[in-house]
Amino acid sequence: MINKRKFIAVIGGSRCSSQEAKLAEEVGRELARHGVALVCGGLGGVMEAVCKGCQSEGGLTIGILPGDNRQTANPYVQIPIVTGIGYARNIAVVKSAQAVIAVGGSYGTLSEIAHASQGGIPVIGLNTWSLARNDQPDNSIIPAQSPAEAVDIALSLATD
Amino acid sequence: MINKRKFIAVIGGSRCSSQEAKLAEEVGRELARHGVALVCGGLGGVMEAVCKGCQSEGGLTIGILPGDNRQTANPYVQIPIVTGIGYARNIAVVKSAQAVIAVGGSYGTLSEIAHASQGGIPVIGLNTWSLARNDQPDNSIIPAQSPAEAVDIALSLATD
Amino acid sequence: MINKRKFIAVIGGSRCSSQEAKLAEEVGRELARHGVALVCGGLGGVMEAVCKGCQSEGGLTIGILPGDNRQTANPYVQIPIVTGIGYARNIAVVKSAQAVIAVGGSYGTLSEIAHASQGGIPVIGLNTWSLARNDQPDNSIIPAQSPAEAVDIALSLATD
Amino acid sequence: MINKRKFIAVIGGSRCSSQEAKLAEEVGRELARHGVALVCGGLGGVMEAVCKGCQSEGGLTIGILPGDNRQTANPYVQIPIVTGIGYARNIAVVKSAQAVIAVGGSYGTLSEIAHASQGGIPVIGLNTWSLARNDQPDNSIIPAQSPAEAVDIALSLATD
């Protein structure tokens, strides 16, 4: 591909705490400052906060929606993708990205972490899940201490 | 949504005749001249020709891919969406658009025409399928005589 | 596979005329008499009628549902498959079968005919769509005059 | 639904240790002894072992396959469902069940645990993942000490 733009997904709950929203919005601003396109699930909560931050710095926001209607996208989504496949769109969210940043999140977010790890796509975490398998820690989620660090790690690993 | 950009899908075979490629490329140029974002399946044939035309006039090209790998996108796709769901991505191609233009095409294209019509999304046809149900003609595919006419009709119907 | 059971899909509208329901119910009875497993979309209309007929003769009925809830299956579905992927389940309905019988139907049925033909799965039609491409008739839907004939043709072609 | 049969999914890797295969096979036998229908992903490893055990006791085995071809099913699958949607079929595996038993497993299995928990479907674990969120243990996976105990817990929770 001629296209050299990087695509990074940000995942998290459609409802979130105000602290998670602040983290997500700052992640969005950082992505825009680095010229990265944002991919997300297109709805509220963390998805809306990260789109808001990204758009405020002139970034490109892509929302991959579960339902049949573009009107369900949050107001900061510039490219709504309408899939009609419900939670199966979680797979498209992470597979469309070269790295994934998780902010908080519940079981939907966990499914996205799992699908990304299954596909060899790096996952960086901010206050999110941690995993162990057969009582051994699994290190597939790389912890970050701040939005800026999360974006730095994501960019360094987004090699496709 | 704040977003007022229109999204129009162009569908057709991943292999096509040179005449179909010419039609598709001109449809792509027309879409770009009208400031419309192009949605397609992201692969070769009609999809590549329409992306090439659209990009040549500075338009935005979105390719919704069936497989697991962004490298399968044609070189004119600017926004590759990697779904991993095979032919089920046909549904996302048409549902992400406010109108659909079909150029030639085989059974995959027919499935997209059907999914669009099922969802109430207008379909404009250039040298493509025609349908009858119980021996009565079905007029859900609006015939156009040229790429410019196809885009004009699509825009007039793309009201969401 | 050890399994030698044949699987045939019956497709058609979730609402249908009483004549279509009669045809579908008789198709279901014929399938059961031949020891064939029935695959369908699991909802009402043609799907319910064919399941009713099949079950009345002791046949096996499989319903591949679009939503998230097995309770949406019609009462004659013995094996409900809950996909949560909406209309993308249409693809699973036809791909799970070795031949497809269409009874009437609207655009959802047309999408199933298209997905089956794309995958090389034979389609037999009772009072359903007919197709032409670039003004040439397309013969991918094999017309049958009765439920018994439809099942006979389907079985003769269900070789996988 | 008239249907009172219970459906329980068993998930785990397409490659597995001999110990995991032994556990899975015994889970399959237990399910069959209780008259429960088995749902799984239809491929090898844990999926094949559990189907083998279930069939050996006369149980019903359903395999929901990711690809386009029923020939990819393991030889103990009686009802192959061919989805063509890749890993998105993981969602159908768990949503088609009233409870899920995880035996070992990698990221694909983790995605299924997540999708089940998101949908409120109980998950019972044998030597599988454990989860924590924001450093707090998450108890959505109920640990079992043996195949018999896993099946007992699953049946007690499979109320739909």
pLDDT of residue B3: 55
The pLDDT of residue A1 is 39
Q: How far is A115 from chain D (nearest CA, A)?
A: 6
Across all residues in chain A, what is the average pLDDT?
96
B87: chain D residues, CB-CB within 8 Å: 84
Q: So what's the pLDDT on residue C3?
A: 56
**B140 to chain C: which residues are within 8 Å by CB?**
107
pLDDT at B61 over 70: yes
Q: What letter would DSSP give residue B36? A: P
Percent above pLDDT 90 for chain D: 95
pLDDT of residue C2: 43
The whole-number average pLDDT for the span D34-62 is: 98
pLDDT band at B2 (very low <50, low <70, confident <90, very high): very low
Q: pTM for the full model?
A: 0.96
Q: What are phi and psi of A54, to 5 degrees?
A: -65, -45
> Which pLDDT band holds residue D3 (cuts at 50, 70, 90)?
low
Q: Of the candidates D1, D2, D37, which has its C-beta nearest C71's C-beta? A: D1
pLDDT band with cut points at 50, 70 and 90 for residue D2? very low
Residues 112-141 of A with CB under 8 A from D: 113-115, 117-118, 127-135, 138, 140
Strand, coil or helix: A132:
strand
- Mutate which of B2, B3, B39 to test chain A, going by most A C-beta atoms within 10 A? B3
Whether the pLDDT of residue B106 is over 50: the answer is yes
Selecting from B75, B81, B85 the residue whose C-beta is nearest the C-beta of A85 gives B85
Q: How many whole angstroms separate alpha carbon B75 and alpha carbon A2? A: 6
- Give how far A84 is from chain C: nearest CA, Å: 6
> Tens of pLDDT along B66-105?
999 999 999 999 999 999 999 999 999 999 999 999 999 9
Residue A135 confidence (pLDDT): 87
pLDDT of residue A2: 44
Tell me the mean pLDDT in the region D76-92: 98
* pLDDT computed for residue B159 by the predictor: 83
Residues of C with Cβ-Cβ distance to D160 under 8 angstroms: 70
Mark yes or no for CB contact D127/A134 under 8 Å: yes
Q: Cβ–Cβ of A84/B91 closer than 8 Å?
A: yes
For residue B120, what is the nearest residue in chain C, using CA coordinates? C107
Give A73's contacts in chain B (Cβ within 8 Å): 1, 3
CA atoms within 13 A on the CB side of B131: 25
Please report, for residues A47, B12, B32, B124, the alpha-carbon distance to residue B23 in angstroms, rounded to integers and kept in the order given. Answer: 39, 11, 14, 13
- A81 in contact with D, Cβ within 8 Å: no
Nearest CA in chain C to B129: C133
Whether the predicted pLDDT of C157 surpasses 90 = yes
| Stretch (H or E) spanning B7 | strand B7-12
Cβ distance B134 to C104 less than 8 Å, yes or no, reads yes
Per-residue pLDDT averaged across B110-114, rounded? 98
Strand ranges for chain A from DSSP E: 7-11, 37-40, 61-65, 79-82, 99-103, 123-126, 129-133, 136-138, 141-143
Instruction: Report pLDDT digits (tens) over A99-145.
Output: 999 999 999 999 999 999 999 999 999 999 999 998 899 999 999 99
Q: Are B105 and B13 within 8 A, CB to CB?
A: yes
Write out chain D residues lying below 8 Å of C62, CB-based: 79, 81
Tens of pLDDT, residue by residue over D95-131, are 999 999 999 999 999 999 999 999 999 999 999 999 9
Confidence check: pLDDT of B39 > 70? yes
Cβ-nearest to B3 among A37, A77, A91: A77
The complex's ipTM? 0.96
Nearest alpha-carbon partner for C83 in D81, D92, D120, D80: D92
CB contact under 8 A, C110 and B114: yes
Residue B75 contacts residue B91 (beta carbons within 8 Å) = no
Q: What is the pLDDT of residue D121?
A: 98
Q: Calculate what percentage of chain D has a pLDDT beyond 70.
A: 98
pLDDT of residue D135: 87
Please state, rounded to an integer, the average pLDDT across all residues of chain D. 96
Chain D residues closer than 8 Å to B92 by CB:
none
Share the mean pLDDT of chain C.
Answer: 96
pLDDT digits (tens, 9 = 90+) for C16-52: 999 999 999 999 999 999 999 999 999 999 999 999 9
pLDDT tens, residue by residue, A33-57 = 999 999 999 999 999 999 999 999 9
Q: How far is B8 from A46, CA to CA, in rounded Å? A: 29
